[in-house]
Structure 1
Amino acid sequence: MTAAPLPCDPHELSSLFLFEKLAPEQLDRLCREGSVLAFEPGPVYAEGDPATCFYVLLEGTVVLSRRVGDYDVEVTRTSDRGVYAGAFQSYLGDRVPQVYNSSLKVAEHSRFYVLPAECFAQIMREWFPMAVHLLEGLFFGYKSAQAAVGQRERLMALGALSAGLTHELNNPAAAAVRATSALRERVAGMRHKLGAIAAGPYRRDSLEALVEVQERTAERVAKALSLSPLEAADREDALSDWLDDHGIDGGWQMAPTFVQAGLDTEWLEQVAAAVDEGSLAGAMKWLNYTVETELLMNEIEDSTNRVSALVTAAKQYSQLDRAPYRTADVHELLDSTLLMVSGKIGPRIRVVKEYDRALPPIPAYPGELNQVWTNLIDNAVAAMNDGGGDGTLTVRTAREGDRLLVEFADTGPGVPEEIRDRIFDPFFTTKPVGQGTGLGLDISWRIVVNKHHGDLRVESVPGDTRFQVRLPLTAPDAPDDNGAAPQPS
Structure 2
Amino acid sequence: MNSTDAEADRHSRLVCDPDELRSLFLFEKLTDAQLEELCRDGRVETIAPGLVFREGDPATCFYVLMDGEVRLTKISSGAEIEMVRTDHHGAYSGAWMAYIGDKVEQTYSGTMYVTRESRFFVLDAPTFARIMNEWFPMAVHLLEGAFFGNRNTNARIGERERLLALGSLSAGLTHELNNPAAAAVRATSGLRERVAGMRHKLAMMAEGKFQPEVLVTLVRLQEEAAAQVAKAPELTPMEAADREDLLGEWLEEHEIADGWNLAPNFVQAGFDVDWLERVWGTLEGCPNKVFEGAIRWLNYTIETELLMNEISDSTTRISSLVDAAKQYSQMDRAPFQVVDIHDLLDSTLVMLSRKIGDGITVVKEYDRALPQVPCYAAELNQVWTNLIDNAVYAMHGEGRLTIRTRHENDCAVVEIGDTGPGIPEAARGRVFEPFFTTKPMGEGTGLGLDISFRIVVNKHGGDIHVDSQPGDTRFIVRLPLNRPDDTGAAPEAGGQQ
TM-score by length of 2: 0.90
1:374 to 372, 379, 385: 385
After superposition, residues 409-448 of structure 1 pair within 5 angstroms as 409-448=417-456
- The aligned counterpart of 1:358 is 369
Matched, 1:97 2:108: no
SS at match of 1:467: strand
Give the C-alpha shift of residue 139 in structure 1: 0.9
After superposition, residues 20-31 of structure 1 pair within 5 angstroms as 20-31=28-39
Give the C-alpha shift of residue 390 in structure 1: 0.7
- The aligned counterpart of 2:215 is 207
Closer, same or farther: CA 371–295 of 1 in aligned 2, 3 Å: same
1:71 to 79, 85, 91: 79
Alpha-carbon distance between aligned partners in 1 of 2:215 and 2:231, rounded to the nearest angstrom = 25
- The aligned counterpart of 2:301 is 290
1:268 to 276, 290, 293: 276
Closer, same or farther: CA 479–203 of 1 in aligned 2, 3 Å: closer
Alpha-carbon distance between aligned partners in 2 of 1:267 and 1:189, rounded to the nearest angstrom = 23
Matched, 1:343 2:354: yes
SS at match of 2:73: strand
SS at match of 2:209: coil
1:398 to 406, 425, 428: 406
The question of whether the paired residues in 1 share the 8 Å contact of 2:98 and 2:125 is answered with: yes
The question of whether the paired residues in 1 share the 8 Å contact of 2:338 and 2:485 is answered with: no
Alpha-carbon distance between aligned partners in 1 of 2:93 and 2:244, rounded to the nearest angstrom = 80
Matched, 1:232 2:243: no
Closer, same or farther: CA 252–479 of 1 in aligned 2, 3 Å: closer
- The aligned counterpart of 1:176 is 184
Q: Deviations over 1:356-407 (max 9, x none)?
A: 333343333222222222222222222222xxx2122222233224332232
SS at match of 1:418: helix
The question of whether the paired residues in 2 share the 8 Å contact of 1:44 and 1:106 is answered with: yes
Matched, 1:312 2:320: no
SS at match of 2:303: helix
Alpha-carbon distance between aligned partners in 1 of 2:19 and 2:405, rounded to the nearest angstrom = 59
Matched, 1:16 2:24: yes
**Structural RMSD (CA):** 2.3
The question of whether the paired residues in 2 share the 8 Å contact of 1:453 and 1:476 is answered with: no
The question of whether the paired residues in 1 share the 8 Å contact of 2:180 and 2:317 is answered with: yes
Residue 258 of structure 2 aligns with an amino acid whose one-letter code is G
After superposition, residues 46-125 of structure 1 pair within 5 angstroms as 46-125=54-133
Closer, same or farther: CA 446–4 of 1 in aligned 2, 3 Å: same
TM-score by length of 1: 0.91
The question of whether the paired residues in 1 share the 8 Å contact of 2:402 and 2:417 is answered with: yes
Q: Which segments of 5 or more consecutive residues in structure 1 lack a partner in the other structure? A: 484-489
Residue 373 of structure 2 aligns with an amino acid whose one-letter code is I
- The aligned counterpart of 1:487 is none
Residue 218 of structure 2 aligns with an amino acid whose one-letter code is L
SS at match of 2:143: helix
Stretch deviating more after TM superposition (312-321 or 242-251) = 242-251
SS at match of 1:273: helix
RCO higher in structure (CA 8 A, sep ≥6): 2
After superposition, residues 237-252 of structure 1 pair within 5 angstroms as 237-252=245-260
Give the C-alpha shift of residue 275 in structure 1: 2.7
Aligned residues: 480
Give the C-alpha shift of residue 137 in structure 1: 0.7
Closer, same or farther: CA 109–372 of 1 in aligned 2, 3 Å: same
Alpha-carbon distance between aligned partners in 1 of 2:412 and 2:378, rounded to the nearest angstrom = 18
The question of whether the paired residues in 2 share the 8 Å contact of 1:210 and 1:275 is answered with: no
The question of whether the paired residues in 2 share the 8 Å contact of 1:209 and 1:275 is answered with: no
Closer, same or farther: CA 412–108 of 1 in aligned 2, 3 Å: farther
Give the C-alpha shift of residue 448 in structure 1: 2.5
1:470 to 460, 475, 478: 478
- The aligned counterpart of 2:495 is none
SS at match of 2:264: helix
Alpha-carbon distance between aligned partners in 1 of 2:390 and 2:59, rounded to the nearest angstrom = 37
Give the C-alpha shift of residue 134 in structure 1: 0.7
